[in-house]
Amino acid sequence: MILHIDPEKVWQGGQRQVVYLVERLNIAGVASIIACSSKSPLEKYCRENDIPFAAFNFHYRVNPAVIYKIVKLCRKNKVRLIHCHSSYALTLGLQVKFLMPHLKLVASRRVDFHIKSKMSGFIKYKNSMLDRLVCISRNIMEICKSDGIPENKLQLIHSGIELERLSIQLPPADFIKGEHFPEHNIIIGTIAALVGHKDYPTLIKAAQIVLMKYPAALFLALGRGPERKKLEAMTTELGISERFRFLGFREEVGWFLNSFDIFILASKYEGLGTSVLDALACGRACVCTDGGGIPEMIKNNENGLLVPAQQPEKLAAAVSRLIENPAERAGFSANARQSVEKFSVDNTVREHIILYQELLDERI
């Protein structure tokens, strides 16, 4: 049995990756269970989709009562390996392994931020109890190396997506009209949480430049987050609020993706960015910044355009280029699907199984 710990109280790309992995591990006969936060979106998903789980009240960094319950869960289910899917999860996993030293311990690193302090890095990532750190992009792996994590602890396994999940979700004929958007001739869309490292200010400034030249373009942003009010105020201040719409969390992600003419992402930092993978799987031409692991997905002038991060003029110029050149846009769209094949979730799961087998030194 493998225990996957994800105590986060949000539903973002990391949680989607956890359920992808656990669902397929169980199908492959690799028994897995998720330890998640009570009343979290992850608990709700597990409950509704019959994924084995145990819910806990993860309130404090050090909580002996919760650690005792996890240890009890491990003993009851004969857990042999713990996979921690966030920094906080690793804090918990290390405490459990201290009490159960025979367990193997794996952690995933999904962010391309440097480790905050030498002390926390040494305690959490460089200690002998952590057997392997899975990096979801080559960029993250290089950052971990530069932070002094031993190379033999690092394993590159790209995040993956279900290639058909969103591409087959074709929108109804009147879908966009039914959303009551203003008249437009092209849609530029993004899917990203409204948080700092996604750098919406750069995207909004670029949108203003594009709309000065192409006033009938329409920008749509799917995602929720703490910066929404500030960002909406920015679009109002720049006079583009009618042409830059924040749509929040939407269930019909595939419908929107398949309605976009251009997918755009302006991140300063990005572990990998599975929304880019989803856009490629739907055959969208992409304009993205070169932040984090994005260049591992977007090859400039092949399946999209890459521009330097935090440069709205260059981002706007790339969007304008694709507006003006529909043939080039179509060419990128044609290349998109082939370029994303290697990021299939099946490959991600297969590489995790190989890693688990290596650590347990036997077939599982």
Per residue in 147-191, pLDDT tens? 889 899 999 999 988 888 777 777 887 787 777 787 888 999 999
Full strand arrangement of the beta sheet holding 2-6: 53-56, 32-37, 2-6, 81-84, 104-109, 132-135, 154-156
Residue 154 is predicted with a pLDDT of 96
Q: Tokens representing 128?
A: 């002998």
93 and 220 together in one domain: no
Give the pLDDT score at 184: 86
Residue 149 lies in a domain: yes
Asked if residue 277 and residue 237 are part of one domain, the reply reads yes
Structure-block tokens of residue 208: 């203003």
Domains of the chain: total:
2
Question: What's the pLDDT tens digit per position in 235-281?
Answer: 999 999 999 999 998 888 899 999 999 999 999 988 888 899 999 99
Residues 146, 25, single domain; the answer is yes
Look up the CATH number of the domain holding residue 190.
3.40.50.2000
Q: Say whether both 294 and 233 belong to one domain.
A: yes
Q: Is 192 helix (H, G, I), strand (E, B) or coil?
A: coil
Domain containing 351: what range? Answer: 2-160+344-360
Asked whether residue 91 falls in the same domain as residue 102, the answer is: yes
CB atoms within 10 A of CB 160: 26
Q: Are residues 184 and 57 in the same domain?
A: no
Q: Is residue 167 part of a domain?
A: no
- Cα–Cα distance between 81 and 3 in angstroms, integer? 6
Residue 165 lies in a domain: no
Q: Are residues 10 and 110 in the same domain?
A: yes
Q: Is residue 202 part of a domain?
A: yes
Split the chain (364 residues) into runs of 10 and give each run's mean pLDDT: 95 90 95 96 95 90 87 96 95 95 95 73 82 94 91 93 79 77 90 94 98 96 94 97 94 91 93 90 95 91 95 98 96 91 91 95 64
CB burial readout 103-137, b (16+ within 10 A) else e: bbbbbbbbbbeebeeeeebeebbbeebbbbbbbbb
Q: The dihedral of CA 98, 100, 103, 105: what is its sign?
A: negative
Whole-number Å distance between alpha carbons of 177 and 309: 33
Same domain as 249, residue 204: yes
Three-state DSSP class for residue 83 = strand
**Predicted structure pTM score:** 0.82
Where does 100-148 have alpha helices with state H? 118-125, 138-146
